[in-house]
Amino acid sequence: MKMKPLAYFVCITSLLTGCSNDEAVPPKAAKGLPGVNVQQQQPAVQLTQLLDDIYTKVVLNRSPIRQSALGIKTDQDKWDNISKEYREQTRTIIQQQKARLQTIPRTSLSDSDKLNLTLMQFFLEQKEKELEWFEYQYMLDQMNGVQSILPSMLINQHQINTKEDALAYIQRLRGMQLFFAQVETITREQAKKGILPPKFVFAYVLQDARNILQGAPFEAGKDSTLLADFKSKLVKTKLSNKEKTQLEAEAIDALKTDVAKAYSQLISFVQQLAKQANNEDGVWKFENGGKYYSYRLKTTTSTNMNAMTIHQIGLEEVSRIHLEMKNIMTEVQFKGSLQDFFAFMRNDKRFTLPNTEAGRQAYLNQVDLKLKQMESKLDELFITKPKAKLVVKRVEAYREKSAGKAFYTFPSMDGSRPGYYYTNLYDMKDMPTYQLEALAFHEGLPGHHMQASITQELDELPMFRKFWEYDFISAYVEGWGLYSELIPKDIGFYEDPYSDFGRLAMELWRACRLVVDTGLHAKHWTREQAIDYLKRNTPNPEGDIVKAIDRYIVMPGQATAYKIGMLKILTLREKAKHSLNERFDIREFHDIILRDGPLPLNLLEANVNHWVDRKLKI
């Protein structure tokens, strides 16, 4: 998955996720947030710069975290302001920018500029709706909670190359207490309205928070996660030893005072908050929870499908994939039921590497090898390929117990930071080797890394289209990721039938998501019912299943993006093949999907249809 961050203020990849999923200057000059003069330009240039100016005012100027995700250092000593007053100011700014768009005459615009204008209108409408539902988003959970998102952002996105970078890092350490105080204020208001995650979530949050306070300078032992990160970055700079020593001392002071106090207060608050939580899992339990879930489904899938329709699609896809799995059972001459085969795949030791450092390294080596093999064959499927590097990385120890099994974070827009494919190797039983191939294709090549990097490298796109908030286009992003698991089969991958079973198992997993997500949030399923459904219908290990259901509970609707998006891409491909016959070129089709960046599914369909019509006229 592309890691989805706390929806309002954290980037993709991530996010994308996550998150996100994450800019106020053209990508080639990501150094600051200058104003944009749009008064003395040609019409096309004027529109592009106007859209960049709107994006700057609505997003970048208001989100230091988003800036850091893209390698912009203007406000790198700050965290976002998420107070109610600041959010209301943002709402006013959005309304002002929507009014600016209404003054633009469409008649003289090119097709691409009309699309840009349509998408900016869509973007601003989504930002406004996001603010309307802000109080329904969990501040504290195991996936996107601030207790882990802030350290993750410092470790993965705050680079230290200069003294100013290091001082900014220290200021962010000192600023955690204020940020957590805002979170506490918001969460108290949510709790008054009964908007709290279920009780089980709080153990994860407390564990993450306590992990940050483990090690020096908080206690005896090896360096804590944040101190180790700061020191490792500092040692690589060209600063003098005197400067390094002074900066390290300042960081230690900030950790011992500000960070320790921030996390201690947060832990105390979470312990009290947990007493107010109940064991009801779906958002149906909230006032207007049904409307909120409908909003989440519409945003996630970029369709008007309701929960019951999505639930039924899931059931049908589960049945279809089960039949394909039975064909593999026949191929490998397995005797028994499909559930027997699931148990075999789940428990046979040939599919699990040792739960040791050597086993983990062997897994990473296999991923690297598989991605290199795919990279060498990309020309068979693609015209446009990414320039950004891809690095495979283990999920950090402080969050690996609660984090998802795999996710991707996109590179910085100036190319100084690569894209990362994170793989969670906390328990190797949850990372069976028969799924390794499909998982690498999804998160790396030709999946999220290819799609995200190509988008960022499209010079002609306005900034907001390069760096969409993950929520608004997740059906496209995750649909591409799941589709990317399938297409390598067309060029010779998945030769091992067990690996092909792994591909089907991962597609089955996403089909089941349609069932359990809607089950939890619309049909009043309990956590135990959802866990039991995955146990009966998938080969995944129990730890994998429990962690997944816990994720779907705190991220309502997000899990529906994958299958809905994949089905749309496959439908468009089959329709194009039928219309074009021998003129259909899979490489051209993929270019049409990728070369305009992420789109809502209805506009993606319009793009493909336009390409088909053009080719038919040639």
Cα gap 185→191, rounded to integer Å? 10
Q: Which residues contact 180 (CB under 8 A, 6 or more apart)?
A: 146, 262, 263, 265, 266
Taking only the tens place, the pLDDT of each residue in 499-511 is 999 999 999 999 9
The predicted pLDDT at position 10 comes to 35
In a domain, 266, yes or no: yes
pLDDT the model gives residue 7 = 35
Query: Which of 329, 323, 335, 346 minimizes the C-alpha distance to 435?
Result: 346
pLDDT band at 107 (very low <50, low <70, confident <90, very high): confident
Q: What angle do CA 204, 208, 211 make, to 5 degrees?
A: 135
Place of tokens 């500092």: 234
CA 505 from chain center: how many Å? 21
Q: Which residues contact 163 (CB under 8 A, 6 or more apart)?
A: 239, 243, 247
Burial of 459 (0-12, 13-18, 19+ CB in 10 A): exposed
Q: Which of 22-31, 452-461, 463-472, 552-561 has the highest mean pLDDT?
A: 552-561
- Contact in structure between 484 and 313 (CB atoms under 8 Å): no
Sign of the CA dihedral with 265 first, then 267, 270, and 274 last: negative
pLDDT classification of 43: cutoffs 50, 70, 90: low
Cβ-proximal residues to 44 (8 Å cutoff; 6+ apart), any chain: 110, 113
* Digit-coded pLDDT (tens) for 358-403: 999 999 999 999 999 999 999 999 999 999 999 999 998 888 887 7
Tokens of 89: 């100011």
Q: Is residue 307, in this structure, part of any structural domain at all?
A: no
Q: Is residue 474 within 8 Å of 67, Cβ to Cβ?
A: no
Classified as helix, coil or strand, 13 is: strand
Is residue 422 helix, strand or coil? strand
pLDDT tens sequence across 286-304: 999 999 999 999 999 999 9
Residue in the block written with tokens 């909003």: 295
Joined tokens for residue 5: 């961050």
Q: What's the average model confidence in pLDDT over 316-327?
A: 98
Residue 179 has pLDDT above 90, yes or no: yes
Given a contact cutoff of 8 angstroms between Cβ atoms, the answer to whether 398 and 154 are in contact is: no
Helix (H) or strand (E) holding 340: helix 338-347
pLDDT tens string 412-471: 877 888 999 999 999 999 899 999 999 999 999 999 999 999 999 998 899 999 888 777
Cα angle 171, 175, 177 (rounded to 5 degrees) comes to 150
Distances (CA, A) of 335 to 330, 344, 347, 614: 8, 11, 16, 52
**Residue 360, in any domain of the structure:** no
Is residue 8 predicted with pLDDT exceeding 50?
A: no
Question: Total structural domains in the chain?
Answer: 1
Instruction: Tell me if 585 is assigned to some domain.
Output: no
Would the pLDDT of 326 be above 70? yes
pLDDT at residue 44 in the model = 65
Which residues form the domain of 187?
A: 139-196+199-277
User: Would the pTM count as exceeding 0.95?
Assistant: no
Residue 275's pLDDT band (cuts 50, 70, 90): very high
The string of DSSP codes covering 469-517 is -GGGGHHHHHHHHHHHHHGGGGGT---SHHHHHHHHHHHHHHHHHHHHH
**E strand spans, 281-341:** none
Q: Hey, what are 583's tokens?
A: 């003129």
* 278, 201 contact by CB (below 8 A): no
Site of tokens 């996720």: 17
Q: How many CB atoms lie within 10 A of CB 305?
A: 19
Instruction: Establish if 452 belongs to a structural domain.
Output: no
The answer as to whether 203 is a domain residue is: yes
- Summarize the confidence of residues 517-527 as an average pLDDT: 98
